[in-house]
Structure 1
Amino acid sequence: MPLPTFALSELADQSRASGRLAIDTEFMGEGRYRTLLCLVQVAVPAADGVRIEVIDPLDDDVDPAPLAAVLADPDVEVVMHAARQDVALLRRVWRTEITSLFDTQVAAGFAGLRAQAGYESLLGDVLGIRLPKSASYTKWDRRPLSAEQVAYAREDVEHLFQLADALQDRLRERGRLEWAREECRFLETVSDERDLDAIFDRLPRIAGLDARSRAVARELVEWRESLAATQDRTVQSVLADAALVEIAKRKPDSRKALENIRGINPGNLRRRGDDILEAVARGRDREPIPFEGERRPAPHPGDAPLIALSEALVRTRVADSDLAYELVASRADLQAILAGLREGADADVRTLHGWRRELVGDELLALLRGERALAIDSDLKVRVTER
């Protein structure tokens, strides 16, 4: 390590020849504006098993282009475990798309195993392999890496193909492989790019501010993001969300007025007080930003028993199908379905799309319309009946 470019090209060629690539990453996010990609470990099928290589993305001499192109090749299956963070990092840092993803954690939920299962526990449950995991919380951004760290990184991809193959066999037997692949396709698009509009919309109590205060809040968001990016630190360490909204609401025009607002770190106030006041002044000069979204209505008083009934049906169907409940519905999904029914429309939630609708979505709507009923058999199992 580092691998020369010709070796990365060789890896890419092997991946294309076999149609598969296993990949994992190590990263550091604590105290940073953006998570730092520190290590990439890959495995490709080889005549004697698998070839494993560890790549150092912090080395400026490493050109990841050959492997980045493989990740975007739809003819190469990319095998990962718990891929969300890895995909987001690789898309941003290597400037590539990721296609044909197979996530073994997602697959496990469709194969009757625990949702959100860790890699080590899945290896034990599915393959009977136990890993001595010892370096997961080490500082991956420090160089040189220890032999223990490199060994740990290699282990994270050593058995990924075996695990994927075993899970795919289980899913084929159950007719669920395409369901799992459909779920993995969503992960191919995840991103960790910071969207200022989304950050602004997620601020606490932002919908309750008047239009002029919202303009100040937006200016403060932009100032905070710029400073955090420049100093590579978390935005909350620059100015916490709650304090930002309160400053926008009060619009202080002096140090004294700013000091009367709770939640501002004294050190930040001392170092950045003038910058905050300047951002507030710029915000006052901005075009007011009226609230144009929809305030979520309060839950209907009769929703609680209906949600409990809905959850009973969903849990019954996922138990019958040996699926993880978390894959199918959440309380928020069920709440949205109820709200949609009251408005005479289907809610745009995952439970009413794709394989989930086939599994339970249509039946759930029928239950809530009074067209189905739940009964309890003598063996204390829930049964769905027509009315």
Structure 2
Amino acid sequence: MKLITKTDDLAAFCKPLATTEFIAVDTEFMRERTYWPRLCLAQVAGPDEAAAIDTLAEGIDLAPLEELMANQKVLKVFHAARQDIEIFYQRMNQVPQPLFDTQVAAMVCGHGEAASYESLAARLAKAKIDKSSRFTDWSRRPLSERQITYALSDVTHLRVVYEKLKRQLDKTGRFSWISEEMAVLNDPATYRADPDMAWRKLKPRSASPRMLATLREIAAWRERTAQRIDIPRQRLLRDEQLLEIASHAPRSLEELAMTRGLGRGFAEGWQGREILEAIERARQLPDSELPTRDRQSEQLRAPAPVVDLLRTLLRLKADEAGVAARLVASADELDRLAAGRRDIHALRGWRREIFGADAIDLIEGRLALALSGEHARLIPTPTAAA
């Protein structure tokens, strides 16, 4: 068990790792009371050594760790990497590259839709992970021996998982299959929260452009304010309250205070004044600058039987290829395909090869699905023969 609490020890640990082929990385963080995740512990394992780095230790400088994470010559291996990378991106203002996500690789290698680290560790590293410390308070000090042991197990077994998945990808020639998912993880835009786009995650009942403009302004205010004072957005203003305010567009503090659950103190404080200012900005917008809801999904006319057939075909072809179905095509893509859309990932590259081409033939009547015992199979139709 190795816990690093001093900068000199961290520098000494990181120095030899700068020349290794890869490192396994994981983090423990807290964000229940904050907008931004608070990094409490970082675990790193090289080929021969692993350590848990106490990022909250008094006086510790994480520069050696950040330098290692920025080293373009060292591959950083994560499992379900997005939240871990978000933490490093916020600290470093750059994405640690190059990256490898074992969860994505496991889907390509036929280990299920969203293989957990515990299942991969058991299957590939023959290790059993003690989960009892998973939801402990990682910000409390001192850390217990059990916590540190659990944290280190998240990277020591990850080395073995990575090496075995890499061999499977080499053997099957499927490294290129994960490139698209890795590109998303490598894109800094993945980790930037754009306040002006926050409204699109909400589900208003009305599609009135003026109401949507109000919603956009209030949602952006909530996002920026939550970021500035570092509290969860829902603690500042709940979604249902935000939607109600946008729907009624109050003109006074008295009207704002009538929002269910808001409270007069909130309405009459600085928050209430700033919300009214946001509403007024939306009210002053010319019609030409009002937003509209993306109605693409509402315009689709996807016949349910066609969607059902495509879903069955996707499962059949994914099982045959030994790859997770959701990596090949999403439910939204199946809807778009059934509705006649062809601008989807499933019709390009390796996805077209294992699914997309047959999906088009199925839709256009050149292939049919038939039962063979308990299993479905594809058969050519008379149309295809003609």
TM-score normalized by structure 2? 0.86
Residue in 1 that maps onto 2:199: 200
Q: Does 1:209 align with 2:190?
A: no
- Distance 1:378-1:243 versus aligned 2 partners, 3 A rule: closer
Q: How far 1:137 sits from its partner (Å)?
A: 0.6
Residue in 2 that maps onto 1:40: 42
**Among 354, 359, 382, the residue aligned to 1:359:** 354
| Rounded Cα–Cα distance in structure 1 between residues aligned with 2:63 and 2:353 | 41
**Among 372, 380, 383, the residue aligned to 1:377:** 372
CA RMSD of aligned residues (A): 2.8
Residue in 1 that maps onto 2:142: 144
| Rounded Cα–Cα distance in structure 2 between residues aligned with 1:141 and 1:13 | 27
* 8 Å Cα contact 1:240/1:263 also seen in 2: no
Amino acid at match of 2:100: F
Structure 1: segments with no counterpart, 5+ residues? none
Aligned residues: 377
TM-score normalized by structure 1? 0.86
Q: Residue 18 of structure 1 aligns to a residue in which SS? A: coil
Q: How far 1:206 sits from its partner (Å)?
A: 7.8
- Distance 1:98-1:230 versus aligned 2 partners, 3 A rule: closer
- Distance 1:302-1:255 versus aligned 2 partners, 3 A rule: closer
Residue in 1 that maps onto 2:83: 85
- Distance 1:297-1:331 versus aligned 2 partners, 3 A rule: closer
- Distance 1:193-1:234 versus aligned 2 partners, 3 A rule: same
Residue in 2 that maps onto 1:70: 68
Residue in 2 that maps onto 1:99: 97
Structure 2: segments with no counterpart, 5+ residues? none
**Pairs within 5 Å for 1:107-126:** 107-126=105-124
* 8 Å Cα contact 2:302/2:338 also seen in 1: no
Q: Does 1:303 align with 2:303?
A: yes
Amino acid at match of 1:330: S
Q: Residue 134 of structure 1 aligns to a residue in which SS? A: helix
* 8 Å Cα contact 1:20/1:77 also seen in 2: yes
* 8 Å Cα contact 1:24/1:156 also seen in 2: yes
Q: How far 1:307 sits from its partner (Å)?
A: 0.6
Q: How far 1:154 sits from its partner (Å)?
A: 1.2
| Rounded Cα–Cα distance in structure 1 between residues aligned with 2:359 and 2:368 | 10
Q: Residue 191 of structure 2 aligns to a residue in which SS? A: coil
* 8 Å Cα contact 2:110/2:324 also seen in 1: yes
Q: Residue 227 of structure 2 aligns to a residue in which SS? A: helix
| Rounded Cα–Cα distance in structure 2 between residues aligned with 1:132 and 1:148 | 9
Give a deviation string over 1:350-384, Cα, whole Å, max 9, x none.
32333222221122123222333223335743124
Give a deviation string over 1:86-139, Cα, whole Å, max 9, x none.
111111123332223222222221222122222122111222211222211111
Matched residues, percent identical? Answer: 34
Amino acid at match of 2:362: L
